[in-house]
Structure 1
Amino acid sequence: MPEADACPFSDCLFDENASLLERTAALLEDLEPDTYATVDARCLGGSIGGHTRHCVEFYQGFLAGLEGGRIDYDVRARDARIENELPHAIAALRRTAAHLRQAAATQDAMHLLRVVENHNGNDTDWSATSVGRELRFLLSHTVHHCALIAILLRLRGREVPEGFGIAPSTLRHRAAQKAITSCAA
């Protein structure tokens, strides 16, 4: 049985995604603009800015799709300012997190949507999904890109907060294993 103070399913999913974007913004605040925008060949030619922009634009696609009931993650602005201008990126992350929190008040995680599967020339295939399913996807997708950001920072000798870029389920599992180990000792 869920705890009395546990947040509703939908709110938790929105909150977890918004919190990840806020933690990413906080991490970026300590970077120099050059560190943020520089492409690193050791990490498939990616940059911290590129990964940040990519994630922000996926959330923008999700939020835009809520209104019309159709989400197409391939239709993105590819905003060079988010990718290259650190203050703009931090503002975009915070703004997107705020929009997610606002959407939580009006959205049901079970609400059905359609998401584009692929574009084959002129044909577009749409699949059934839900708000909750897409929030889970976005969380996983963003954690993956945060892991790449963490790698880029470590390659530059930078410290990364513990747990950044690691899935919440993995962090919970590690904590449970640590608790079991300390109880057994």
Structure 2
Amino acid sequence: MHRNANSNSGIAELILENTHPLQQLTDLLRELSCGQYSAGCNARGQHTIGKHVRHIVDHYSVFLSGVERIGSAIDYEQRSREALLEQEPQATADRLSKLCQRLERLGNSGEDHPLQLDYATHETTVATSSSLGRELAFLASHTIHHMAIIAMLAEQVGIATSEDFGVHPSTLRYRQKQEMLQTLGAEQMLQTSFEAQSHPARST
């Protein structure tokens, strides 16, 4: 029973590590015009915010379809690559909100469980074992990676993002820990200084 409780808690935390950045991304899209969203930001115009967001949406759509259909495998090669998601930020923001809702329902449904992942090579498709938790962990890292690129592209079209946008939760936790240690160190130095002033050494 204790093991199941831990499993449920772990899945819930992984769901949150996915829905939080997706909500940040949704909020960003609400600020963008279609022009900003689809603007090419390199010499050949290949990199746009829209293309990176569409790529993120595709991965979650494939993952959720594979999880929600019993007996179905997850194959990230089978992405829809819907052009609308590269061109219309408001419609894509609505799609992201629905994906978050589906993820939250998934988090309420229970514990970690096995999944099948299909991976296409040049000559065949390899079926490999995975799990709900492992795929959620992959998606969280995958999303943050693309959001870091999106933050740079947004800056090029005049949109600023928050300091934690596109930063992996583990990095944020590390920064918080370092800030706490620095604060603690400063407090200890002040305390030492105060004690030294309150009890000066006596000369003999």
Same fold (TM over 0.5): yes
- Aligned-residue Cα RMSD (Å) equals 1.7
Q: Is the 8 A contact 1:72 1:115 kept in 2?
A: yes
Query: 1:183 is paired with a residue of what secondary structure?
Result: helix
* Deviation readout 1:80-104 (Å, 9 max, x if unpaired): 1111111111111101111111111
Contact 1:52 / 1:83 at 8 angstroms: preserved in 2? yes
Q: Distance in 1 between matches of 2:27 and 2:97?
A: 9
What SS class does the counterpart of residue 119 from structure 2 fall into?
strand
Instruction: Structure 1: state its 5+ residue gaps.
Output: 1-6
Q: Percentage identity across aligned positions? A: 34
- For the residue of structure 2 that corresponds to 1:83, the secondary structure is helix
2:116 aligned residue: 114
| 8 Å CA contact 1:43, 1:152 repeated in 2 | no
Residue 121 of structure 2: SS of its match in structure 1? Answer: strand
2:93 paired residue number: 90
Please report how far the alpha carbon of residue 119 of structure 1 lies from its aligned counterpart in structure 2 after TM superposition.
2.9
1:72 aligns with: 75
Q: Give the TM-score of the pair, scaled to structure 2.
A: 0.82
Shift of 1:69: 4.2
Distance 2:19 2:142 in 1: 13
Residue of structure 1 in register with 2:143 after alignment: 142
Which ranges of structure 2 fall in alignment gaps of 5 or more residues? 1-7, 187-204
Q: Deviations over 1:5-57 (max 9, x none)?
A: xx811111112212221111011111121111112116982111111110011
CA offsets, 1:110-159, max 9 Å, x none? x11111233333x2101111000000000000000000000101223421
Map of 2:33 onto structure 1: 32
Q: Secondary structure at the match of 2:64?
A: helix
User: In the alignment, what sits opposite 2:132?
Assistant: 131
